[in-house]
Structure 1
């Protein structure tokens, strides 16, 4: 029985291309995507995969909590946070494979998933937020875990970010889908100065009920905070305090990275 498959489906539910295997799949789709098309990734529940669902994007190490994940091909306004090369053209190469034991056990950025989306409840990590600026795709939570750290502007790719719509109560949460061990968290705040403001302080709270207050500075560089946290299923960034010395009302987050390993036994 094949445990891994990729299927491309049209808006009417018709199968456009598919391929299955025990441990790795390379699927070539000769055709152009159209609105309503989607990619279905199927794997054994509670498995670790390395996926690359478009040759115009990078690979992501993911945890499949359930058997099937459906990724809608972005069109129109939803295309804006993706590279123009992604999901475009007449031929596409999609890849998925089972992760190796070494990949599973090694320390990595546990928060990266280029293929996250709002409806994701299966393919982890997953980012969600209580506010996203004007509901625009270039300011959604998934942008903060897509691996892109370019933070010198805002708007369409490569300047996508998580925008908080000037809401002081904004929060973003990263769910891992299983328990992990965290060693450090790295934040890239958006640095489109003078358009942007910046945060002087924030709170990182964890699924075990603990929290850490961190001090932040005005910079385009990564800001690193080290912790020792085990058996954590999610982390939340909130209680964001913007600088009162900057007239801009627009602080934002370009990327959050969470480095660690699988939880201790």
Structure 2
């Protein structure tokens, strides 16, 4: 796999780039400016390890297409990231392809710290029909960014998916290809007593099945084994809030554990009609 990393400015001019076969590194010796973008290009769709900033954990992700672009965050959009991320006048980026033995292991398939609203290429990808006040610290992407600290809220590392007090809120996690999942874990935001919690949530899978999960008032991981199944997306919905004084339940993290689907399983899935992921309109009410 051929890889390229680029820093591109608001006018599309390439400020720095690097290329490599199987692996490449880029050291950018300038401060980012508003409008700059980090671009990853690969010769064919597939799995890659990306480390696009020294303050954010490297991550194994799946690129469904050959080019991914991340707008360098400024202002409110910077708040979900470490205060050290994207700052300073020297930045080290890297990308490498994966070996077959690296992607067969069971892992959390819902982990992507590089996700954002504009992303349609790099998976997993999270989106929701509601995000509290449209603020970045309550965006859907926060539920898959790997940040699990949950005894506060509203700033890094206490990022979360906020539902704007909407009982019809729903979060969809898309994988970009068929995967085989066997466990789901929820980390509720636990800034009690400011926060409330959900006593029950439902998850609908792309295979058409729906499962309900009972939850308790806790900031610890609440993990549930499920019957292994091949899916391309899951939707979290049916959020039943506890009867307490706080109107603010929220989700810090969702983990979806499993493996890549085998070729035979993928072929069998493709032979069936697969429902498209839900496409609720995003609501940003105050």
Q: TM-score range by the shorter chain?
A: over 0.9
- Any conservation in 2 of the 1:184–1:226 contact (CA below 8 Å)? yes
- Tell me the equivalent position of 1:130: 129
- Any conservation in 2 of the 1:44–1:64 contact (CA below 8 Å)? no
- Any conservation in 2 of the 1:230–1:263 contact (CA below 8 Å)? no
Gapped regions of structure 2 (runs ≥ 5): 265-286
Residue 45 (structure 1) shift:
3.4
- Tell me the equivalent position of 2:87: 88
Q: Deviations over 1:18-52 (max 9, x none)?
A: 01111101110000001000001111333110101
SS at match of 1:142: helix
Q: Deviations over 1:163-213 (max 9, x none)?
A: 000000000010000000001011000000000000000101100001100
- Tell me the equivalent position of 2:203: 204
Residue 228 (structure 1) shift:
2.3
- Note if 1:155 corresponds to 2:154: yes
CA RMSD of aligned residues (A): 0.9
- Tell me the equivalent position of 1:28: 27
TM-score (norm 2): 0.91
- Tell me the equivalent position of 1:169: 168
- Any conservation in 2 of the 1:186–1:223 contact (CA below 8 Å)? yes
Residue 248 (structure 1) shift:
0.2
Matches within 5 A, 1:98-117: 98-117=97-116
Residue 67 (structure 1) shift:
0.7
Gapped regions of structure 1 (runs ≥ 5): none
Residue 117 (structure 1) shift:
0.6
Q: Deviations over 1:70-91 (max 9, x none)?
A: 0000000101110011000010
Q: Determine the C-alpha separation between the residues in 2 that align with 1:229 and 1:14.
A: 47
Give the number of equivalent residue pairs: 263
TM-score (norm 1): 0.98
